[in-house]
């Protein structure tokens, strides 16, 4: 094999082997790119089921800029970013700024923005966000369904843990549709309450998946009495708990955000652990800090970062992978493995079981001649990763049938 390239088939097999043992501790981190991979019909074209953070920001900007009630105050708020950072704020930056101002404005105002105006903007932005991300998962066999099937398809010694910074309910919908029991830190029915003691307990059966929403959820609410509850509808005075960056780290550990980050910390700290990220760009510094600290402190933990598109789009991820040998970044055009960055090899293995599932090969025409490109790694697309999990589960079932037959 060419020593100046990496082999995508070998890395596909290694990932498959890492996910196979029933005694391995396994977790997934599903980022904003996961719902983007699911396309739905929009007239004659298709669109993502849920847009990425930039698309969501554009939709909020458009709605508020057209609103007679909010357009002036929202324009004033955005002008505050003109001379500072970031220069092109996302909705999470905007929410953080609103909440920071709300905490310090007291009975006065800042640039004409008083406490009630800031609270109204916060509520309206969360409402628009909920309308956009609070969608139903299509009934087709989406990658979320394939992940749920995979989770429920093998009896394991340790529960599968799913971490996500997304506010949507797609993971929960997929698990419920396949009758996979799961625990998300809340206990109850009509007004489920956050229970830290249950989160820290290991007494739940391993067949129960764990779902940790590290940036909150559209169905989390903080009541006027400072209780955190999970429910579909809110009451007067409730505050939706989406995106926690405005919270101070000295606040009580009762806050679900910090407790769920602790779960990620704990997962990476203990023994052999496999974390697979999909649809995650490594742009969240708080999450990166937890992941990288865990990889540094536990050399037996490994993270497979599945990146959509070319690796040059992920500068923060590349910088981290060059320093952490147990962070493997797998992009369409190459990988960083053991801190070494290389392109994928050019020769394809059409007989390999994962050819066409995790690895493909394109031939382009240049000056009327066929040009062989390097192989392309496909699992950075969550849709392809779902097919990869389905193929692995099918292979596992075939092996079990063969074993039973003998």
Q: Are 303 and 15 in contact (CB under 8 A)?
A: no
Domains contained in the chain, CATH given: 5-42+136-405 (3.40.50.1220), 51-133 (no CATH)
Task: Classify 345 as helix, strand or coil.
Answer: coil
Q: Which residues of the chain have pLDDT under 70?
A: 1-3, 244-254, 363-372, 395-406
Instruction: Give the side-chain half-sphere CA count within 13 A for 204.
Output: 19
Backbone CA torsion sign across 31, 161, 257, 223:
positive
What lies within 8 Å, CB to CB, of 60 at 6+ separation is: 91, 94, 125, 128, 129
User: What is the Cα–Cα distance from 183 to 12, expressed in whole angstroms?
Assistant: 30
Rounded to whole angstroms, how far apart are CA atoms 364 and 369?
A: 8
pLDDT in tens, 349-363: 999 999 999 999 875
Q: Each residue of 153-164: pLDDT tens digit?
A: 989 999 999 999
Which residue has 């890492």 as its token pair? 18
Is residue 52 within 8 Å of 36, Cβ to Cβ? Answer: yes
Question: Order of strands across the sheet with 186-187?
Answer: 186-187, 192-194, 228-230, 216-222, 239-242
Three-state DSSP at 365 gives strand
The CA distance from 110 to 102, in Å, is 10
pLDDT at residue 342, as a whole number: 97
CA pair distance 116, 253, nearest whole angstrom = 28
Q: What is the pLDDT of residue 236?
A: 75
What is the number of helices (H) and of strands (E) in the chain?
13, 23
Asked if 151 contacts 180 with a C-beta cutoff of 8 angstroms, the reply is yes
List the one residue out of 328, 370, 397 whose CA is nearest residue 6: 328
pLDDT number for residue 87: 82
**C-alpha distances in Å from residue 254, one per residue of 183, 224, 250, 260, 365:** 17, 15, 11, 10, 59
> Which pair of structure tokens corresponds to residue 72?
């002036």
pTM for the model stands at: 0.91
Helix 71-79 × helix 115-133 angle, to 10°: 100
Structure tokens at 386: 């779902």
Cα–Cα dist 103/106, whole Å? 7
Predicted confidence at residue 400, as pLDDT, reads: 53
Rounded CA-CA distance 131/12 in Å is 37
């Amino acid at each position: 094999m060419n020593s100046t390239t990496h082999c995508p088939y070998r890395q596909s097999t290694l990932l498959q082997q890492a996910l196979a043992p029933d005694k391995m501790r396994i977790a997934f981190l599903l980022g904003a790119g996961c719902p983007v991979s699911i396309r739905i019909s929009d007239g004659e074209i298709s669109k993502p089921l849920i847009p990425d953070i930039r698309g969501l920001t554009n939709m909020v900007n458009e709605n508020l800029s057209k609103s007679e009630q909010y357009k002036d105050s929202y324009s004033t708020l955005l002008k505050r970013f003109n001379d500072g950072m970031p220069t092109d704020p996302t909705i999470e930056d905007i929410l953080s700024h609103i909440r920071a101002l709300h905490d310090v404005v007291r009975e006065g105002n800042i640039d004409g923005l008083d406490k009630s105006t800031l609270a109204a903007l916060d509520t309206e932005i969360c409402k628009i966000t909920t309308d956009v991300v609070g969608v139903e998962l299509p009934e087709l066999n989406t990658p979320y369904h394939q992940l749920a099937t995979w989770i429920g398809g093998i009896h394991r010694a340790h529960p599968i843990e799913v971490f996500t910074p997304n506010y949507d309910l797609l993971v929960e919908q997929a698990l419920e549709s396949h009758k996979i029991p799961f625990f998300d830190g809340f206990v109850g029915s009509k007004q489920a309450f956050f229970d830290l003691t249950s989160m820290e307990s290991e007494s739940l059966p391993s067949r129960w998946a764990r779902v940790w929403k590290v940036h909150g959820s559209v169905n989390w609410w903080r009541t006027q009495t400072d209780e955190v509850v999970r429910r579909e509808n809110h009451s007067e005075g409730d505050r939706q708990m989406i995106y926690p960056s405005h919270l101070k780290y000295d606040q009580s550990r009762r806050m679900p955000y910090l407790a769920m980050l602790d779960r990620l910390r704990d997962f990476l700290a203990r023994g052999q652990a496999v974390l697979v990220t999909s649809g995650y760009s490594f742009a969240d510094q708080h999450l990166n800090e937890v992941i990288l600290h865990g990889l540094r402190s536990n050399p037996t933990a490994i993270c497979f970062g599945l990146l959509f598109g070319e690796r040059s789009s992920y500068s923060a991820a590349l910088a981290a992978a060059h320093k952490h040998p147990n962070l493997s970044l797998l992009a369409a055009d190459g990988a960083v493995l053991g801190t070494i960055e290389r392109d994928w090899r050019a020769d394809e293995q059409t007989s390999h079981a994962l050819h066409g599932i995790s690895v493909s090969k394109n031939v382009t025409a240049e000056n009327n001649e066929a040009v062989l490109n390097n192989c392309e790694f496909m699992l950075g697309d969550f849709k392809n990763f779902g097919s990869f999990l389905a193929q692995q589960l099918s292979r596992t079932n075939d092996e079990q049938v063969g074993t039973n037959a003998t």
